[in-house]
Amino acid sequence: MNNLIVNSITRSREEWVDMLDLPEKLETSAIKANVLIVPSMIPTQPKAFVGGTLHLFAFLQSQLGEDVEICISNEGYEELKLNSRTVRLGRFIVKSIALPLFLGILSNYIYDRIREPQTVESGDDLPEYQQPAVISFTIAVEDSTGKKKEFQYEGPASDYKSIAEEIERLWNE
Question: What is d(CA 70, CA 47) in angstroms, rounded to the nearest whole number?
Answer: 12
pLDDT score, position 138: 95
Q: Which of 33, 6, 45 is nearest to 139 (CA)?
A: 6
- Do 153 and 136 meet the contact criterion of CB atoms below 8 Å apart? yes
Q: What is the pTM of this model?
A: 0.85
First and final C-alpha spacing in the chain: 16
pLDDT score, position 117: 47
- Do 141 and 148 meet the contact criterion of CB atoms below 8 Å apart? yes
pLDDT score, position 17: 85
Question: What is d(CA 1, CA 159) in angstroms, rounded to the nearest whole number?
Answer: 10
* Domain residue ranges in the chain: 4-114+130-172
pLDDT score, position 103: 97
Q: What does 30-49 look like in DSSP terms, one character per residue? A: HHH-SEEEE---BTTBTT-E
Question: What is d(CA 14, CA 137) in angstroms, rounded to the nearest whole number?
Answer: 21
Alpha helix positions (H), the chain = 13-19, 24-32, 53-64, 99-113, 160-172
Per-residue tens of pLDDT for the chain, all 173 residues:
579 999 988 888 888 888 887 888 999 999 999 999 999 877 777 788 988 899 999 999 999 999 999 998 888 888 887 766 788 899 999 999 999 999 999 999 998 887 644 444 444 565 555 667 889 999 999 998 989 999 999 999 999 999 999 999 999 98
Question: What is d(CA 79, CA 170) in angstroms, rounded to the nearest whole number?
Answer: 31
